[in-house]
Amino acid sequence: MMEVFSSAVSEKRIFKVDDGKHRLTSDRVVVEEPLEIRIQYFFNNKWQKKNLAITMRTPGNDIALTLGFLLAEGIIASKSGIEAIEQLEINILIVKFLKTTKVDLTALDRNFYATASCGVCGKASIETLAKTACFFPQKDLPKIDYSVLLELPKLLRGSQSVFEETGGIHAAGLFSPTGVLLDYAEDVGRHNAVDKLIGNCLQKDLIPLRAQILMLSGRVSFELVQKAMMAGIPIIAAVGAPSSLAIELAEENGMTLIGFLRGERFNVYSGVGRIRI
């Protein structure tokens, strides 16, 4: 699995105004480019090719992003059925399945088009998504002290190297129940950051993630809860607000969902039994 690397940060000339004074200078901004995901699989006694998805993302860690995306969509449950992942160009990647791999054609029939703000676009229906999962979280486990939760935003922010340069990127961090940062990913799209994080874990054969906490730097939408559920993550915490659908999906699947985790306060929208207060 070879990856072509591209910078996540670009320098742009700007006209800066500050306290009534102005000057020409430069600013470092996060890069946003399209990634086209293609797949090759064996069906009806011949090799088939399909353009599966286009996502607007920050270049880098594209293989992990792709693996996380495939897991979240229920197309794969592990990397064992994949023969190779090749980056044809910086913005085109192809996943080649083994000849013996059975690919979920129902999932492939959906038209995927994901943007930096929407990871659920093109799905056949929310009902179909909600019924599809690889790894459900374990009931009421793990337990976590509320004091550990309070430290997570600071620990995640401290790991965000691209954010420090640009201020314009989202992050997803994976923590142990004692607050140890296990891994993190950054991307201009919130759902891409989660896909990259889950994809990293899939590459390391760590799925399911039933004893970990997912910490998000922004708000929580339905598709982010969906991705966590598919990977078995039981606890999601975020500095921003959850949507109504995010709360409903978390409740239906016994997940703990925490929003507005800032300073000394937070709201628990579902699964309060996992938190020791």
- The rounded Cα 3 to chain-centroid distance in angstroms is 19
Q: Annotated catalytic, 118? A: yes
Of the residues 118, 121, 134, 201, only one is catalytic, namely: 118
On the CB side of 141, CA atoms within 13 Å amount to 8
Q: What residues form DSSP beta bridges with 242?
A: 220
Q: Are 94 and 86 in contact (CB under 8 A)?
A: yes
For 17, residues 6+ apart whose C-beta sits below 8 A from its C-beta are: none
CA distance 158 to 273: 29
Closest CA to 5 of 97, 78, 72, 93: 93
Neighbouring C-alpha atoms within 13 Å toward the C-beta of 44? 3
Q: Which of 62, 59, 63 is nearest to 10 (CA)?
A: 59
* Dihedral angle over CA of 174, 247, 113, 45, nearest 10: 80
- Please give the positions annotated as active site: 118
